[in-house]
Structure 1
């Protein structure tokens, strides 16, 4: 294999093929404003670039603008479920329409300080699911990061307040006539960011509707332990359970079967996320789902607005959380 095969195609190669200067290639490829370039020249440059497989260097663009076209998303040490995966996929697509690239970094701050991560990338924006310290925000701002977005935490304005999910669950059970509810809390401490506000939403709905509960049980993904929780709920007069998510709800349904009960006649169960097994289990699982495409569109619009110095869009809470009616509740 020749040296030519390995050599990176440069703007000089495009300029030679198109018969223009390297400066003209740069203006065309970077869509530089206030440059008088004829349509025919622009077409010639783009055709040459396509024939050679040329794209501008991201490193050079970073040096020129002071930041990359990367949006860095910092994930905590979480299990990445279908909902988070869907949101990230939609966010990547939405940002790509604006010439931005989403880079996701999973892990926790003990593995590597976040300062080392964003300094290595020099992103246009940073999105995280947890709060930043005042010092972290100041450092990123001084480095030219246009936007720092905590999705959850003290300073966050999440696109989907998790309390709405808990309220939707409880409201469905209460409308169906249940007067004492339970809540199936997860045993994974890593997801407390989601679980606590969802439980608070169920508590608020019970209080506002003047129904009993929620009687809270920590439910592991173990059918025998779920069985014990179901027996305690049943003895306490609980007839409907809001589960943290669909996986926990499926464990509750397994516990219902082991207890010789049926859902929803003896214990109605409602989950969150609408994962594929929710449709396959018998009885099929009633659940609450979030429009992750709309969430991603909001986050993308927020990032693009900040980069361009425009006000952030309104948080689109209306109609994002939807009930999926099935057999279990």
Structure 2
């Protein structure tokens, strides 16, 4: 029997042994309630191993009614330290519950077949709302558990605790130190536009609530002199505190300030976001916002498990979303 270059099936095992396909299926699927002798069972298992039989995951998922796969669809963002830890925590939590977390980056204009059409996941999760086209593709593939809920407000993520908590703390910290003119340092990476704008909106709202002026917003490209230009303009406008999108942008701003002869934090205080491991090693060490990555990862995993189990109860937010880590840069 020729099985080279193709998947060995239960039918191949049955033909090789001269027994029924049903008997082989009962043995390989460990079906209960069947009166199959131990000798026959051992023959089937041995022959399946000899032929190189491997279970067909899609067929098994169809038989079970679920694949026990959670597909996490990532935006086309750089995978930074905090995101990596977030995914690792969610993956570990789901693994303990018997589920596999598979990540998939959705590239705008990509031509590859969407992974949800291939894996038949129990749940498809996204960090951002899905487009109407992607939702239609998922539903055409028989996927009913989609997070965020396609029927919910697509802009709700912009005011979620994981978006709001960090920028609010950044502004509160600088304002508490007496800074009344505050700038915002945004990354030039266009892939981050949506989340950058969401954080900037939080900064603007927080400044307004505190009775402070409009934020002095500058875009920083880590590969050119835009940071030095921004520092000069902040100095000229009287801006003395800067909220940075993340620690990388904060480090670039601090470096540019020192090169321009602007003391940190004496003339310009800078606070980052994410509390990367090197933030405390930087000179001067960077004040930052430490997100509860573990709590947020567990929350994401619990939300997926609720959906997979058909429970409408939303996962609880972590008790602590973010905390201030004060260091030398402020």
Match of 2:102 in 1: 103
Pair 1:154 & 2:142 matched: no
Match of 1:15 in 2: none
Take 1:323 and 1:231, find their aligned partners in 2: how far apart are those partners? 27
Deviation digits for residues 68-127 of structure 1 (CA, Å, limit 9, x no counterpart): 22111122222111111111111111111111111111241411366x321111111111
Take 2:124 and 2:276, find their aligned partners in 1: how far apart are those partners? 28
Indicate conservation of the 8 Å contact 1:165/1:201, yes or no.
Answer: no
Number of residues paired by the alignment?
305
Deviation, structure 1 residue 186 = 1.1
Q: 141-150 vs 101-110, which deviates more?
A: 141-150
Match of 2:77 in 1: 78
Match of 2:173 in 1: 172
Match of 1:16 in 2: none
Match of 2:62 in 1: 63
SS in 2 for 1:233: helix
Mark the runs of 5 or more structure 1 residues left unpaired by the alignment.
Answer: 13-20, 29-34
Take 1:102 and 1:59, find their aligned partners in 2: how far apart are those partners? 16
Deviation, structure 1 residue 150 = 3.4
TM-score (norm 1): 0.80
Take 1:136 and 1:220, find their aligned partners in 2: how far apart are those partners? 32
Match of 1:181 in 2: 182
1:214-293 superposed matches below 5 A: 214-222=215-223, 224-293=225-294
Q: 63-72 vs 193-202, which deviates more?
A: 63-72
Deviation digits for residues 105-156 of structure 1 (CA, Å, limit 9, x no counterpart): 1241411366x32111111111123322345435534644242113998165
Indicate conservation of the 8 Å contact 2:231/2:253, yes or no.
Answer: yes
Take 2:290 and 2:193, find their aligned partners in 1: how far apart are those partners? 19
Change (3 A) 1:154 1:146: same
SS in 2 for 1:285: coil
Change (3 A) 1:287 1:55: farther
Indicate conservation of the 8 Å contact 2:273/2:290, yes or no.
Answer: yes
Indicate conservation of the 8 Å contact 2:77/2:191, yes or no.
Answer: yes
1:191-202 superposed matches below 5 A: 191-202=192-203
Indicate conservation of the 8 Å contact 1:75/1:129, yes or no.
Answer: yes
Deviation, structure 1 residue 325 = 1.2
Change (3 A) 1:140 1:66: farther
SS in 2 for 1:328: coil
Indicate conservation of the 8 Å contact 2:58/2:119, yes or no.
Answer: no
Q: 127-136 vs 205-214, which deviates more?
A: 127-136
Deviation digits for residues 148-207 of structure 1 (CA, Å, limit 9, x no counterpart): 113998165476441222111001111111111011111111011221111111111111
Q: 315-324 vs 131-140, which deviates more?
A: 131-140
Deviation digits for residues 270-314 of structure 1 (CA, Å, limit 9, x no counterpart): 001111221111110000121111111111111111111112334
Take 1:203 and 1:55, find their aligned partners in 2: how far apart are those partners? 57
Indicate conservation of the 8 Å contact 2:90/2:300, yes or no.
Answer: yes
TM-score (norm 2): 0.79
Take 1:154 and 1:271, find their aligned partners in 2: how far apart are those partners? 28
Take 2:131 and 2:225, find their aligned partners in 1: how far apart are those partners? 42
1:130-145 superposed matches below 5 A: 130-134=128-132, 136-141=134-139, 143-145=141-143
